Structure 1
Amino acid sequence: MKSNFNDKQIQILEVAEILFSEKGFDGTSIRNIAKLAKINIAMVSYYFGSKERLLESLIIYRTSDLKNQLENLLKEEIEPIEKVNKLIELYINRINSNRGIYRILHFEFASKKREQNLNAISELKKGNLKSLETIIEEGQRKGVFRKDIIIPLITPTILGTFFHFHMNKPFFENLLNLKTENLYNNYIETNLTKHIQQTIKALLIYES
């Protein structure tokens, strides 16, 4: 499916994202989407055909540029650990600024109702893992990274830390005195990201 959408399609996709993340896929109708987007129901069907195809398009819309960003990162002439740090920044920034789509993806994997969308997400995950493997293997060839790294567990370590922090947002806001949304987001971009980078570095680098 194409990843270049026109303005009207993007309007529909962004409204669908809001509703899917709030009410779930099954709790949202095409009529709900059309009403909030202030368009005719027929237009949603014209552009996407079905609610399932609309969800597939939403996943593509929110994730299609990640592949290019990872490919560009692999080409950078920097040390492997710096590539890992940049990859972590990329992951955390994307998830924190696109919480709606990741909430939807979580619901989809939990429900296991739409195999086509699960396959699309799985292919995306495989591509992301391949980029991570390339970086780790480069570090191993250079003798910088450990040989006994379980590469598929690196991403869950990164994302698990973020999601634990975010799912306990009220607790950490109070604990760390993050009184505004800006303070909360800034803490994620700086302190939390740095903590995750240090954690992953400790897993990758040989002990001195």
Structure 2
Amino acid sequence: MELNEKQIQILEVAEKLFAENGFDGTSVRQISKEADVNVAMISYYFGSKEKMLEALLGYRMADFKIQLKSILSKEISYPEKIDEIVAFVVMRIHKNRRTHKIVNFEYSKDDSQSINFEKYLQQKDENYRVIEAFVKNGQKEGFFSKKVNIPLIVPTIMGTYFHFYYNKRFYTSLHNLTDEISLDEFVHTTLTKHIQQTIKALLTYAD
């Protein structure tokens, strides 16, 4: 689905409100008021609030696989590729953390059937297969351990990030981070480097 500027504006407003109030706690009328558009326009573009969330997921996940493949096609070493992959993934989840918060909550609900996560899950599977192929190739060439649990690589990256972010009040105090700018810088430098070291250690660990 090709989105125009107005659709993107509406989705970004919806993302903000969904993250703040929850999906169920946000009405189309609230979104229309915040985005300064009428309800009819939202209905015309997306049809329903559920379809709007599905469009938001597609928008946020667009081009992820393309950029991932671009990193892996570079003529650089395996460790350098790992560093670039981790930096890229951390950058994306930090930028799109609101969407991740919404998805994690809505997908875990018992009555999530009203939202179609099929395309989202398909995209996640395609992204995983790219990383899986990269690791398996590294294993064949003797760079990576054959005992590594490939499906847990991305959860390790994301889990570390989200534990830090959802406990940021504690960690900002611990690391003397004074504002959002210093927090962003910490995520893209210190936290990213820590995750890079962790993933490289996991991939090369020999038991």
| TM-score normalized with structure 1 length | 0.94
C-alpha distance after superposition, 1:112-166 (max 9, x if no partner):
4334532222112211211111110121111010011110011111111111111
Consecutive unaligned residues of structure 1, counting only runs of 5 or more, are none
Q: Distance in 2 between matches of 1:204 and 1:11?
A: 40
| Partners of 1:19 and 1:33 within 8 A in 2 | yes
2:81 aligns with: 83
1:66 aligns with: 64
C-alpha distance after superposition, 1:87-108 (max 9, x if no partner):
1111100111222111111112
1:119 aligns with: 118
Aligned-residue offset at 1:206: 4.3
| Partners of 2:58 and 2:120 within 8 A in 1 | no
Report the secondary structure of 1:76's partner residue: coil
Runs in 1 of length 4+ with deviation above 6 angstroms?
A: none
1:187 aligns with: 186
Aligned-residue offset at 1:175: 0.8
Alignment of 1:11-160 (within 5 A): 11-115=9-113, 116-160=115-159
Query: RMSD over aligned Cα, in angstroms?
Result: 1.5
Paired residues in the alignment total 206
| Partners of 1:84 and 1:135 within 8 A in 2 | no
Report the secondary structure of 2:116's partner residue: helix
The sequence identity of aligned pairs, in percent, is 48
| Partners of 2:54 and 2:117 within 8 A in 1 | no
Q: Distance in 1 between matches of 2:158 and 2:205?
A: 23
Q: Distance in 2 between matches of 1:207 and 1:140?
A: 12
Consecutive unaligned residues of structure 2, counting only runs of 5 or more, are none
